[in-house]
Amino acid sequence: MILVTGGAGYIGSHCVLSLLEKGEDVVVFDSLELGHQETVDTLKLNFPKNFIDFIKGNLQNYDEINEVFNLHKIDAVVHFAAFSQVGESVKNPQKYYFNNVYGSLNLFKAMLEHDVKKIVFSSTAATYGEPEYIPIDEKHPQNPINPYGNTKLMIERILDDYDKAYGLKNVRLRYFNVAGADEKSRIGEWHEPETHLIPNILKSTFSGGKTFQMFGTDYNTVDGTCVRDYINVEDLINAHLSALDYLNNGGETNYFNLGTTDGNSVKQVFTACEKVTGKDIPVEVKGRRAGDPASLVADNKKAKEVLKWTPDKTLEDSVKSAYKWEKVLQERLERQAK
């Protein structure tokens, strides 16, 4: 049985979906502060024959997470639960250190208490900070420039120490920019408020949607807008399944970048969204958003070699599935508003 923390959130729910598709038994632990009950309900509805237990709880409460291990025989953990907004982390670091770091410490404590020694952890490209070179490989120095990145790096360090002292085998996956949704639109990206590029561009195509705001056109990049490496969420989750196999086969603690090696600028993403939707999307150019590095692109050789993982979806694939999902979400929200 696999425990997925944050399994009602965007990326975590796609992991639960893939695990269920593989026939795994899954326990979802989520506080529902950012995750959605509807997402869990959808997963349960779509997999009536699978075992899936949802436990609402907060990692900051040790008893709540420890109880999960009392109730279920957990073999491995995939740990998504975290706050992940860079700007918010600068304004309210305490919220991030308590939730991300202290919450993870409680999770690891409960794991050790119950002799669970395998974990896949969601880390981030934000642990590298301002890039010294591109593409970024795993040897790139880790110097985060905001509290969010600091929390994720601290957890990586804790996991190293816990492996040495307690044999807690872990794989840290450093995500670049995750995009897209389940191809069947059962689940998808659903943040309130939404800060990410692709959903924000797509939301501008719906009636009542806000004009899309493009942050900064004076960067030293191909067209002046920031370049990012957009990795499809289903490809990303495949790497988690490979990481679980890797740990189950006795793999040592390790860490990998998850990206495509392909950089796309904000303007290029915008053009892809106009192409996929067939609409002229209203756009307004704004100043730079604080803390945005000009370019972030992954070197993914290590994940390819060790995890035998290859992402195969394009940016356009991600925009297509994100758009399909966004339509489902908008209809749902309209229905709920009535």
Instruction: Tell me which residues touch ligand UFG (CB under 6 A).
Output: 84, 86, 124-126, 148, 177, 195-197, 200, 213-215, 226, 228, 266, 289, 292, 296
Nearest to ligand UFG of 66, 99 (CB atom):
99
333 three-class SS:
helix
The dihedrals phi and psi of 80, each to the nearest 5 degrees, come to: -100, -30
Token pair in block for residue 170: 């872990």
Q: Which residues contact 105 (CB under 8 A, 6 or more apart)?
A: 158
Please give the Cα distance from 46 to 159 (Å, whole number): 34
Query: In whole angstroms, how close is the CB of 152 to ligand UFG at the nearest point?
Result: 8
Q: How far is the CB of 290 from ligand UFG (least distance, A)?
A: 10
Among the listed residues 96, 148, 175, 230, the single catalytic one is 148
Q: Which is nearer to ligand UFG, 169 or 313 (CB)?
A: 313
Q: Give whichever of 71 and 285 is closer to ligand UFG, judged by the CB atom.
A: 285
Provide the β-strand partners of residue 79. Answer: 5, 121
Residue 181 CB-density burial (10 A; 0-12 exposed, 13-18 middle, 19+ buried): buried
Nearest-approach distance from CB 227 to ligand UFG, in angstroms: 8
The residue written with tokens 């993982």 in the block is 309
CB 225 within 8 A of CB 214: yes
Nearer to ligand UFG, 167 or 287 (CB): 287
- Judge if the upstream peptide bond of residue 193 is cis by omega within 30 degrees of 0: yes
Q: Is 175 a catalytic residue?
A: no
CB of 321 to ligand UFG, least distance (A): 16
CB 77 within 8 A of CB 169: no
Tally helices (H) and strands (E) across the chain. 12, 14
Instruction: Name which of 111 and 266 has its Cβ closer to ligand UFG.
Output: 266
In the complex, the smallest distance separating the C-beta of residue 212 from ligand UFG, rounded to whole angstroms, is 6
Q: So which residues are the catalytic ones?
A: 148
